[in-house]
A and B are shown apart, each in its own frame.
Chain A
Amino acid sequence: MNPLDLVGARPGAPFTVTFDGREIEVLPGQTIAAALWSAGVVAWRTTREGARPRGVFCGIGVCFDCLVTVDGRPGRRACLTPATPGADIGTQAGTGHDD
């Protein structure tokens, strides 16, 4: 069993995004976090102080742990942001800005 079979999903045609240069297949409607989880990726940020890896924690937009860089813009919450075809997604180091 998997979640798609459980709800009898018939998703639209998948598309691709890149994550740190690698191509990842995404189902339409999935957030960036859901797309990365489905591809087996659970970390896409490193912290400002300890450079420790982080990913989803609260999953509903409250904790800001899942921040990610999308098309050059850092600080996007992966759990809220839908993946769009061709999006260039990258691990966010610290604030994502050069400082």
Chain B
Amino acid sequence: MTERRQVLAVIGAGPAGLAAALAAAARGVRVVLVDSAAEPGGQFYRQPAPGLGARRPQALHHQWRTWERLRDGLATHLAAGRVSCLSDHHVWCVERDSGRFAVHALLGPEQREPASVRADGVVLATGGYEKVWPFPGWTLPGVITAGGAQAMLKGGLTLPGRTVVVAGTGPLLLPVATGLAAAGARVAALVESADPTTLVRRSAHPRNAVRGARALAAHPGKLAEAGGYAAQLLWHRIPVLRRRAVVEAHGRDRLESVTVAVLGPDGRPVPGTAQRLDCDTLAVGHGLLPHTDLADGLGCRLDGAGVHVDDEQRTDVPGVWAAGEATGIGGAALSLAEGHIAGRSAAARLNGTAPDPRSWAPAARSRTRLRAFFAELDRAYAAPVRWAENVPDATVVCRCEEVTAGAVREAVGSLGAGDLRTVKLLTRAGMGWCQGRMCEPGVAGVAGCDLTPGRRPLARPVPLGVLAAPPPPDAGTSPCPGTSP
């Protein structure tokens, strides 16, 4: 009997998935990389469509050398047949049956035709998506997520308008503002509701000195990165407004301006501080959330918003690893470290040997440092105090079902809803096309409920015909469709 090579399905071709695929393929495991986009890279390394003929895509990117290393490594493994790459595959479910796995996907962009992959192990590197708190006017055309503006720029080489306000909170706003400006947009302001300089000041405070200073001192690269952004903000003449928020977006059928105000200790706009900024685009974001649907469907335990993993990046379901933003938001460098560890652990375990954690000690050290650093960042970029109380009743909080904050409050107040699920059943908030991904944080905030990740047995809409039909033959052994090296 010839021994069959073990197959590892890696879901997601961003930094975590690519690192996992490369690490596992180099250690004797056959890897099937499954990704929803046309080209590998994920959101962080999203590439312009090949038809656009970009000769300097690095002008839109950070850490390009790392991308070249990942891209070239993937090309080598593809050529050697150690990795196959299924792009344009939108995974809607991973099924576990007698210790093996079936990864069910729909072929994009139509997402009507099914495809399935059989595997002995799975790495979930499903990434994250952006969180936006609701405010009056946030449904107007021209109001987009900060990450969305960046994705459209990186992938489609297009801008949403001429004059942009970038607002919200979190480290993503910096590359978005400077990236849009470099591409020719006038960035009227970067409005940050937190004051990230507290990160440095807090570290100087005796009470926090040890933890904060350790997190910062461990990352001279991160300080240099922050300094680089500061220089670019100056270069592009982008005014930075700290401890302020966009309290309303104005316009009839599209965005025309925003009102920005200083937030007081009660979270309310301080009277006399409101200023109106003309703009045709508002790129807004309040941090990221992990994609956990596939993990949840497999029965993996979640830790807060992310997938729970051990030191080897194993979930509590045998044969399932998770890496990158899916386990908690921490950026591309942390995703690379986690993906690398997941790939090495998976390769060893699938080959029937116990992995030696000493062999990935450098990655484990980066993981420890970066997790500490992002925990500090999370504290510095906290949500504005009592933001939810200031959402007017008339403001739509669920964009799909057009449910207002008033309707959510009524469900809690008069109808006695005490959790997110009951609010959803009473108001339809979270029952629309996006399945609550966009509105869950906003609805939970306005309702005063805990934000519990919604349960979505199907990670995306699936045609009934696909659900009813027998699974298609294994697509994992077919050659890779045009992955440009």
Within 8 A of A (CB), among B52-103: 52-57, 59-60
B13 beta carbon closer than 8 Å to chain A: no
B235 cross-chain contacts in A, Cβ below 8 A = none
B444 beta carbon closer than 8 Å to chain A: no
B52 cross-chain contacts in A, Cβ below 8 A = 4, 7, 9, 11, 27-30
Measured between alpha carbons, how far is A77 from B49 in the docked complex, in Å? 17
A17 beta carbon closer than 8 Å to chain B: no
Measured between alpha carbons, how far is A80 from B38 in the docked complex, in Å? 10
Within 8 A of B (CB), among A44-61: 47-50, 52-61
Measured between alpha carbons, how far is A4 from B158 in the docked complex, in Å? 8
B152 beta carbon closer than 8 Å to chain A: yes
Chain A's interface size range is: 35 or more
Asked whether B55 lies within 8 Å of A9 as measured between CB atoms, the reply is: yes
| Residue interface mask B400-443, A partner, CB < 8 A = 1 | 11100000000000000000000000000000111001100000
B172 to chain A, nearest CB (A): 13
Give the residue name and chain of the B residue nearest to A56 (CB): B144
Residue among B38, B48, B151, B402 making CB contact with A7, cutoff 8 Å: B48
A79 beta carbon closer than 8 Å to chain B: yes
Asked whether A60 lies within 8 Å of B108 as measured between CB atoms, the reply is: no
A81 cross-chain contacts in B, Cβ below 8 A = 109
Asked whether A1 lies within 8 Å of B51 as measured between CB atoms, the reply is: no
Measured between alpha carbons, how far is A34 from B129 in the docked complex, in Å? 19
A67 beta carbon closer than 8 Å to chain B: yes
A63 beta carbon closer than 8 Å to chain B: yes
If A34-B156, A49-B402 touch, does A42 touch B254 (CB 8 Å cutoff)? yes
If A3-B158, A8-B56, A10-B53 touch, does A61 touch B141 (CB 8 Å cutoff)? no
Asked whether B145 lies within 8 Å of A58 as measured between CB atoms, the reply is: yes
Give the residue name and chain of the B residue nearest to A46 (CB): B253
Residue among B54, B57, B148 making CB contact with A58, cutoff 8 Å: B148
Q: How many pairs of residues, A versus B, come closer than 8 Å at their CB atoms?
A: 166
B160 beta carbon closer than 8 Å to chain A: yes
B182 beta carbon closer than 8 Å to chain A: yes
If A27-B52, A55-B141 touch, does A7 touch B157 (CB 8 Å cutoff)? yes
B163 beta carbon closer than 8 Å to chain A: no
A53 cross-chain contacts in B, Cβ below 8 A = 140-141, 253-254
| Residue interface mask A55-96, B partner, CB < 8 A = 1 | 111111111110100000000110111100000000000000
Asked whether A37 lies within 8 Å of B56 as measured between CB atoms, the reply is: no
B479 beta carbon closer than 8 Å to chain A: no
Asked whether B156 lies within 8 Å of A30 as measured between CB atoms, the reply is: yes
If A43-B254, A53-B253, A58-B147 touch, does A34 touch B400 (CB 8 Å cutoff)? no
B149 cross-chain contacts in A, Cβ below 8 A = 59
Q: A3-B184, A34-B158, A79-B148 are in contact. List 15 more A-B contacts (CB 8 A).
A: A3-B153, A3-B157, A4-B52, A6-B56, A6-B59, A27-B157, A29-B156, A30-B157, A31-B156, A43-B141, A53-B140, A57-B144, A57-B438, A58-B130, A63-B438
